[in-house]
Structure 1
Amino acid sequence: MPKRIMEGKVVSNACDKTVTVLVERRVTDPLYKKVVRRSAKYAAHDPQNICQLGDQVEIQECPRVSKRKSWVVISGGTGKPSEKRIRAGQDAAVEAVDTGKIQPKKAKKADEETVAEKTDDKK
């Protein structure tokens, strides 16, 4: 049987050579037919202690390392989010700007003056 691989976010690295990874998945509720998020936390073995809080990592099932640990970190854990997520976020942002969905906000000088006048009136 192939070993399962999951992707998640590191939520704790307090223990030596162990990280807690939060894995989220989307499932459809059988009664209401609404897509809801389900999450589970897994204790994973991190032999070099390289994972930091907030890292996106991949964990793989392995023979039991300790009472709670049966997963090992196989990628990620560089102190930065994974490259494919960064690129996906940048591509989405560029696309939104190109299509005109996002307009940069410009501060108007007149608005700043009216705010200053209102604060002077209160004093």
Structure 2
Amino acid sequence: MKYNKEETVVTEERNARVTRIGKVVSDKMQKTVVVAVERFVQHPLYKKGVQHTIKFKAHDENNEAHVGDVVEIMQTRPLSKDKCWRVIEILERAK
């Protein structure tokens, strides 16, 4: 495995696709979930740690992921205007 600048894992198989781990924040759409990925970066001038959150729309074919679940998503071809990620697996279920 390789790591790029943002410390996300780049897989060797399937043409080096990027995977990320995040939390599902919305599952109201059909076959789509919104996943929030948080990363902790250092401010370039003040050197204080800052938390950045990015939201991705990911394809969930069987509507298995629900709000609060921790999922792993993988980059894929564009599936719609905003959706170019898909859910690989659910790592942790919400209680």
Shorter-normalised TM range? 0.7 to 0.9
Superposition TM-score, scaled by structure 2 size: 0.80
Instruction: State the 1:77 CA deviation.
Output: 6.7
Report which of the two has the higher share of strand.
2
Gap runs ≥5 in structure 1: 82-123
Which of residues 11, 35, 40 in structure 2 aligns to 1:21? Answer: 35
Bigger relative contact order (CA 8 A; separation at least 6): 2
- 1:57 maps to 71
CA RMSD of aligned residues (A): 1.4
Distance 2:63 2:26 in 1: 12
Take 1:21 and 1:10, find their aligned partners in 2: how far apart are those partners?
Answer: 4
Consecutive unaligned residues of structure 2, counting only runs of 5 or more, are 1-14
- Within 2, Cα distance between the matches of 1:27 and 1:39? 11
Of the three residues 84, 90, 95, the one matched with 1:70 is 84
Is 1:40 the equivalent of 2:37?
A: no
Q: TM-score, normalised by structure 1?
A: 0.62
Larger radius of gyration: 1
What secondary structure is seen at the aligned counterpart in 2 of 1:23? Answer: strand
Number of corresponding residues: 80
The code of the aligned residue for 1:47 comes to E
1: CA distance, partners of 2:82 / 2:24:
16
